Structures are given as structure tokens and as C-alpha cells.
Amino acid sequence: MTSPTKSIEVKLELGHRAVLRARPTAEGFTHDWTVFVRGPEGCNIQHFVDKVIFMLHESFPKPKRVLKEPPYQVSESGYAGFNMPVEVYFRTREDPKKVTFVYDLYLSVDGTPISNIRCEKLTFHNPPDDFCHKLLKAGGRSSARKSAKVAESGIGDVAATGSESCGDRTKGRQGSGDRAKGRQWKARKIDE
């Protein structure tokens, strides 16, 4: 026997902008950059996002940057790119409470300005009613389907199903290693 399953899909944009400085800083930093997490087309993700943590390279002072309200972005100067873990925490008491992405913050060696946006689609299966309302308020889309397996509790198995096109909004290096094709991101349970 099958039971109805409620699924809510929301989208996040992860991205960065980087420009070559006219002159390197005293520390040797050659680029200014900003990395961000936001909703597409002006959607207010604050309805379901509690906080975003950007884990910068260990060479930065205070590499763990916690942002509890929009804009969820960090601006810095540097001289090299790196892979940055980005944790998005949800406004829910149920598990999973967060999803983690690895973002490739790359810099152009030829001085070309970079504007990169990566879209991630999150699907929440059988979210509690209060969290479902938050997702819908932030632009989420609801779908009901029949499923033999229904999540027993919590917000089910939220997954980011990889990157998808945000239109022609990527400039700079093409084919970035973090633009997943069919890669599955799973939310992890946290102890906080």
C-alpha cells in the first residue's frame, strides 16, 4: 500500500565575485572577492535558513564566519583560490538541521573579473507543517506523490540534487570542478 508523500523543493544560489586589485596589498593579496548564499530571483531564504557558516581557508583570521541574517556573504582579499565548506542551517527542530556544500572559490590568473553562480535544488520530503510553511514562504514548490516509503519523523531525507543552470550568469573560468552533474548532497545530523 502506498502513502502520500509531500515534497517541497527550494533553490539556493551559491556564488562569488572576484576582481584583480590595482595593486597588491602589503600582505601580497592580489584579488578582492565576495562569496554568498542567497535565494534565486530575490526569494527570501531567511524564512527557512537560520544561519550560514563559511569555512574560509585556515590562513584567514577567524576562518569560521557565521552569518545569522542576510546578506549571507563574506568579503575578503586573497591571492589564491580554495575549496570552501559552506554550511546552511535550517529553521527547524527536526533532523536534518543543515546541509553542507563545498564551494570552489577560484580566482582568475589573467585578471579577468569573475562572477560565478551555482544553483542548488533542495528537496525536503514530508517536512513538518511549520517548516513546510517556511519553505513555501521562501518560494518553495510543493508536490505530492505516492510513495511506499514515508519518512517516519523529522524533515525526512533532504538532499541537494546537484547544480543546475542559473542561466548565462557565469563569467570567468568555465567548467569549475564543483559544478556537479547528478552529484547527491545529503544533509548531515549535527550535535549542536
Tens of pLDDT along 72-83? Answer: 999 999 999 999
What digits encode the pLDDT tens for the residues 53-69?
Answer: 999 999 999 999 999 99
Query: What's at 29, amino acid-wise?
Result: F
Q: Tell me the C-alpha to C-alpha distance, in Å, between residue 71 and each of 43, 53, 78, 85, 118.
A: 12, 12, 21, 18, 17
- Residue 85: asked if its preceding bond is cis (omega within 30°), the reply is no
Is residue 92 a contact partner of residue 155, using CB atoms and an 8 Å limit?
Answer: yes
* Domain at 3-186: CATH code: 2.60.40.1970
Please report how many Cα atoms fall inside a 13 Å half-sphere around the Cα of residue 154, on the Cβ side. 13
- Residue 192: the pLDDT is 33
Question: What whole-number distance in Å separates Cα of residue 63 and Cα of residue 28?
Answer: 18
The more confident residue out of 146 and 84 is 84
- Residue 148: the pLDDT is 37
DSSP string, 119-188: EEEEEEES--HHHHHHHHHTT-EEEEEEES----STT---EEEEEE--SS--BSSSS-TT--SS--EE-B
The more confident residue out of 159 and 139 is 139
Measured at the CA of 65, the angle between CA 31 and CA 190, to 5 degrees, comes to 135
Question: Binning pLDDT at 50, 70 and 90, where does residue 184 land?
Answer: very low
Domain edges within the chain: 3-186
